Structure 1
Amino acid sequence: MKKVLSLGLLVLVFILVGCGAKKETTTFTQTPMEGTDTFIVVEHEGDKVTKVSAKVVFDNKKLNITDESTADQVAKAFESSSNLANTSVKYSEKETTITYDAPDTYVKSGGSYKDAEKSLTSSGFKQK
């Protein structure tokens, strides 16, 4: 009887472990001005935020970014006005993309996904 009970408990533990929260990724977007699109990617397991990253894409034609030097100037101005660190800039003829860690003011790793979603949508972001 004890062996059957132990085996039953062991099976129950495996079932509960297998039913843990799935990793999910949700992207929020915003167009703060014409020619600029912002994306914040929130990775979470259930209600716990595990990682947050962000990307801003500038339309070079609309913003008159004509070369890589101008793109770097725009990126530096954006970085300093937004108090960002660890940014990466990629220039192409069509667009300039800046990727960075999202500021904790929007979403904090380890925080609640529901709170992050509420914060982002109240800031004008839409879930993609």
Structure 2
Amino acid sequence: MKKILGVISVFVMLLVLVACGGKAETTTFTQSPVAGTEVSIIVEHKGDKITGASAKAVFDNEKLMITDEAASEQVVEAFKSSSNLEDVKVKYSKKETVITYDAPAGSVKSGTSFKAGEKELTDMGFEKK
């Protein structure tokens, strides 16, 4: 009986260690290139390895004089073409227009070093939140 309890105890401890080994984290970097605009890069990483990244641009409709959804669509098209974006999701409200998209490749590419990506983003003017 003691051997069975010992084996079960070891098995439970191994499961706990495996489950806790290297917790995934999310770090957000932001930049406001134009008044009324905030761009965020959300980097998922486990230790120093980037596991994923996404991006979001938020436009303050009042500050940018975006009066309706048609004007919002024009801003979105201009942003997409200037940033060479293809697969974007847009959410419009009277207060703001939000665009979400895959983060640009390069410094925030999956599998690369988080520290190197962090330096690249801060060199580009992003601030770590």
2:81 pairs with 1:80: yes
2:35 matched residue in structure 1: 34
1:48-87 alignment runs, 5 A limit: 48-87=49-88
Contact 1:29 1:127 in 2 (8 A): yes
CA distance in 2, matches of 1:121, 1:63: 26
The residue number in structure 1 matching 2:103 is 102
Pairwise CA RMSD: 2.1
TM-score (norm 1): 0.86
Which residue identity is paired with 1:124?
Answer: G
CA deviation profile, 1:34-70 (whole Å, cap 9, x unmatched)? 0000111000111111110000000111111000011
Query: Which blocks of at least 5 consecutive residues in structure 1 are unaligned?
Result: 4-8
In structure 2, list runs of 5 or more residues that go unmatched.
4-9
8 Å contact kept, 1:85–1:101: no
1:22 corresponds in structure 2 to 23
Count how many residue pairs are aligned between Structure 1 and Structure 2: 123
TM-score (norm 2): 0.85
In 2, the alpha carbon distance for the partners of 1:15 and 1:71 equals: 49
Match of 1:122 in 2: 123
- Between the aligned partners of 2:125 and 2:27, the Cα distance in structure 1 is 15
Partner of 2:91: 90
